[in-house]
Chain A
Amino acid sequence: MIRLVLLLLVLAVPAAAQEQIVAGLSQNRVSITADFEGSEILIYGAVKRDTPPPAGQGPLEVIVTVQGPSSPVTVRRKDRVAGIWLNNAQVRVDSAPSFYAVATTGPLTHILSDTENLRHGITIERVIRAVGITDEADQAGDFLVGLQRVRTQEGRYRVLQGKVELTEETLFRTDIELPANLTEGEYKVRLFLLRDKRVIAHQERVIGVRKEGLERWIFNLAQEEPLLYGLLSLVLAAVSGWGASAAFRLVRA
């Protein structure tokens, strides 16, 4: 019995680990400073093999995802009530990422099966978690589509099909642009190798995005010492107002 298990392990392990990812990121931290205009991250890597690529299987495909910090959101729909367009129905989504990009070597439907997508949560529909929303509004599904559309327009959700370059089934690279309207937090980078629509290897990396310098200072002060922050804003306003008045008098005199 034990021998059988060992034999199975010996047979199974090399098969699963036949092709592995060796990956790198151009940077593993992004600083949001006052003049932050967005950032581009290069994700690159190679496929490590102990044996030549298996014969008789489909071509190698690569999917790279970058996921920003998630949070619960409320999606609202406007309806016309008494002639005015107002928020009339809403759905609470348990968790939606603030940023999500999927880059692939080819069209998602051709390289990824539904089961594998469900298992690994690769496309954005599978990443957004919304349990029990059907009780909250009619056509609750439309709210999720709306959420994706709004965030796609804001540049927060991106599908970059065919944007991963794969050379000789060994080297791959892709550039993912992070928008200027970036949220702070840990950004999860996932890399998947696929053959015949099945994931054969995957890896995870993290990029830390943080406000730095003045941005950090202002944000922390606003959160931790709100009263002091409010008073400081006033002093700033009063001094500017007084300064303008004084300067004006100087110019006139």
Chain B
Amino acid sequence: MQLYLPIAEVSVNAFLILGLGGIVGFLSGMFGVGGGFLITPLLFFIGVPPAVAVATGANQVVASSVSGVLAQLRRKGVDFTMGWVLLVGGIVGSGIGVWVFRLMTRAGQVDLFVQLSYVIFLGLIGAMMFQESLRSLLRARKPGAPVRRANVQSSLQRLHFKMKFRASGLYISVIPPLLIGAAVGFLAAIMGVGGGFIMVPAMIYLLGMPTKVVIGTSLFQIIFVTAFTTVMHAVTSQTVDMLLALVLILGGVVGAQIGARVGVKLKAEQLRILLSLLVLAVSIRIAVDLLVKPSELYSVAGALP
């Protein structure tokens, strides 16, 4: 069944979109990330214009994050104080991101800019996560091996503006969470992602938050950042396609339920290794596109009336 998308102005197969939403929902339900880093490039591949894919991807992440937070809320897995601090940073970062996005669109380099961000950030995070989870998996096999810990946290203690984060059991400066929030908000705006794949490791390794509250808190602030991004894109460039988002979301919520059930059966390290491999695969796929000579060198932009 073909579906004509009113904003993207392309005709797509509705079942293909439903399936894409389903697969991404499955993965996000399994790993506890928004899944935006997958949906946006997948939309590029099926011919949705990049600007629409980014804006609509953000809208889809809102839905999956709301669903995720509600589930975490029942497990008391949300640190609201930390969430609000991250959010303040996130809104600032997102505003800058939307502005940079518009600047790049005008310069004609938005595709490259988005693709490079994907390669760099996904590659970096994927590699770090893969290395870390592989190490902990090996450690689990070999009990008694020394545990290595980064000493970032001790240097964080020296910063001012300290605040109490009860649910996380932390007493740290608000500067690092603000900066992390801003960085993630910026990425959300230019990549159409919630930034969960950056936020989660940053909270664990940089802020030292307990794993129990990490996913819920990350999702909590992602809702607001992606919501803000969606509205900003809708207002500045009219690139949110409601119909596309609706079909993606329908597929996504069903997939997320199945994914969450499968996820329960896997070990945390196994999950992290799989997620890191997935992130790396997406990053490599996009890198190949940049490095291999494209079959069509010319592209036509803009303003179909």
Contacts and interface: CB of A to CB of B under 8 A. Distances in A.
Contacts of A214: 6, 243
B154 interface: no
B59 A234 contact: yes
B189 interface: no
Given A34-B4, A36-B2, A230 B66 contact: no
A69 B80 CA distance: 52
A32 B4 contact: yes
B234 A233 contact: yes
A226 B237 CA distance: 9
A83 interface: yes
B214 interface: no
A226 B55 CA distance: 13
A1 interface: no
B261 to A, nearest CB: 10
Nearest to A96: B300
A223 interface: yes
Nearest to B245: A233
B174 interface: no
A51 to B, nearest CB: 44
Nearest to B56: A233
B231 interface: yes
B146 interface: no
A226 B7 CA distance: 12
B67 A80 contact: no
Interface in B224-273: 227, 230-235, 238, 240, 242-243, 245-246, 249-250, 253-254, 256-257, 260
B59 A181 contact: no
Interface string A228-253: 01111110111011111101100100
A146 B71 contact: no
Interface in A42-95: 69-80, 83-87, 90
A229 B240 contact: yes
Contact of B66 (A74, A85, A222, A238): A238
| Residue from the set A36, A233, A248 with the largest chain B CB neighbour count within 10 Å | A233
A37 B67 contact: no
Given A78-B297, A84-B290, A237-B245, A183 B9 contact: yes
Interface in A140-174: 142-143, 146-147, 149-151, 153
A88 to B, nearest CB: 10
Contacts of B112: 84, 86-87
Contact of B298 (A83, A146, A227, A238): A146
B300 A147 contact: yes
A2 B242 CA distance: 68
Interface string B1-22: 1111011011100000000000
Interface string B61-105: 011111110110000000000000000000000000000000000
B157 interface: no
Interface string B264-305: 000000000000000000000000001111101111111111
A181 B305 contact: no
A72 B304 contact: no
Contact of B299 (A69, A76, A185, A238): A76
A35 B4 contact: yes
A28 interface: no
Contacts of B10: 181
Nearest to A98: B304
Interface of B: 1-4, 6-7, 9-11, 59-60, 62-68, 70-71, 108-109, 111-112, 223, 227, 230-235, 238, 240, 242-243, 245-246, 249-250, 253-254, 256-257, 260, 290-294, 296-305
Interface of A: 32-38, 69-80, 83-87, 90, 96, 98, 142-143, 146-147, 149-151, 153, 179-181, 183-185, 211, 214-216, 218-219, 222-223, 226-227, 229-234, 236-238, 240-245, 247-248, 251
- Closest A-B pairs by Cβ, 10 of them: A146-B298, A241-B66, A230-B234, A244-B253, A180-B11, A230-B231, A237-B63, A241-B67, A237-B62, A245-B70
28 contacts: A35-B1, A71-B302, A73-B302, A75-B298, A77-B297, A78-B299, A85-B290, A87-B108, A87-B112, A142-B298, A150-B299, A180-B11, A181-B10, A183-B305, A214-B243, A223-B238, A229-B238, A229-B242, A230-B231, A233-B242, A234-B227, A234-B231, A236-B246, A237-B227, A237-B230, A241-B62, A241-B68, A242-B70
